[in-house]
């Protein structure tokens, strides 16, 4: 209980800090990243409120273990890129670089998987997204996947490992598809016009890390039962 409380307090404090970091890439706030509260877009308030929730769920799911430090660092990076992508449709290289360097160092300390697995996951995740972007651009004649999304998967691979990185791609795509259908049914435009892909990637990666193993075990058990019945 005390860990969740501490994580919630940390999330409340970090939410404002992460917002200030993200606002440096928001052209509406000028060079200092500041603006009167009345003009602040709603998603910044949502992000500040989301931080303690994400921190608490992360801490409650893992407990007081070494892996909690990389996870909280990881979700902090995700919270920043969600804000920058919503505001300006960019995932800053500087934030990605901080995430890559930070996780390369943290993975020397906490390694639930072999170190090579994380390195390979970073290459596979970003590579798969790069291929999807190239194929999509060839088929549709326009950019379908931003370079920032591809680079972000280097960070995700270093956190999740190969198996969960691939799962996160599926989860992010599924979330994006569901949101697209809802937006189209509501008559609010086509995919990508309102929400860029970065937030879907962030949510998909976080969910895959926390619950992906359980989802995979459940799916494999279901497949096994299906074949057994057959």
Q: What is the pLDDT of residues 51-101, one digit of tens each?
A: 999 999 999 999 999 999 999 999 999 999 999 998 889 999 999 999 999
pLDDT of residue 140: 67
Residue 230 has pLDDT above 80, yes or no: no
pLDDT of residue 76: 97
Cα–Cα distances (Å) from 183 to 42, 91, 169, in that order, read: 19, 23, 21
Q: What is the pLDDT of residues 5-53, one digit of tens each?
A: 999 999 999 999 999 999 999 887 754 445 544 456 777 888 889 999 9
Cα–Cα distances (Å) from 60 to 37, 88, 118, 178, 185, in that order, read: 32, 33, 24, 28, 36
Average pLDDT score, the chain: 87
Q: Which residue has the higher pLDDT, 176 or 189?
A: 176
Q: What is the pLDDT of residues 90-132, one digit of tens each?
A: 999 999 999 999 999 999 999 999 999 999 999 999 999 888 8
Question: Do residues 112 and 152 lie in contact, with contact meaning Cβ atoms separated by under 8 Å?
Answer: no
φ, ψ for residue 106 (rounded to 5)?
-65, -30
pTM for the whole thing? 0.90
Other CB atoms within 10 A of residue 197 CB = 24
Other CB atoms within 10 A of residue 101 CB = 12
Other CB atoms within 10 A of residue 45 CB = 13
Q: Which residue has the higher pLDDT, 154 or 180?
A: 154
Residue 193 has pLDDT above 60, yes or no: no
Give the integer Cα–Cα distance in Å for 47 and 45: 5
């Amino acid at each position: 209980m005390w860990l969740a409380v501490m994580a919630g307090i940390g999330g409340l404090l970090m939410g404002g800090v992460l917002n200030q970091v993200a606002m440096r890439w928001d052209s509406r706030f000028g060079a200092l990243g500041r603006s009167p509260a009345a003009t602040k877009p709603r998603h910044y308030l949502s992000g500040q409120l989301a931080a303690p929730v994400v921190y608490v769920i992360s801490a409650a799911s893992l407990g007081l273990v070494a892996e909690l430090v990389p996870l909280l660092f990881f979700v902090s990076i995700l919270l920043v890129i969600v804000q920058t992508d919503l505001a300006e449709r960019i995932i800053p290289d500087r934030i990605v670089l901080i995430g890559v360097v930070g996780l390369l160092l943290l993975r020397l300390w906490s390694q639930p998987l072999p170190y090579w697995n994380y390195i390979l996951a970073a290459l596979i995740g970003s590579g798969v997204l790069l291929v999807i972007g190239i194929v999509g651009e060839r088929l549709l004649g326009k950019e379908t996947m931003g370079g920032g999304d591809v680079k972000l998967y280097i960070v995700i691979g270093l956190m999740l490992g190969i198996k969960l990185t691939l799962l996160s791609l599926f989860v992010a795509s599924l979330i994006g598809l569901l949101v697209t259908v809802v937006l189209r049914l509501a008559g609010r435009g086509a995919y990508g016009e309102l929400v860029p892909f970065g937030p879907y990637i962030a949510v998909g990666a976080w969910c895959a890390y926390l619950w992906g193993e359980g989802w995979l075990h459940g799916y494999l058990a279901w497949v096994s039962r299906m074949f057994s019945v057959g």
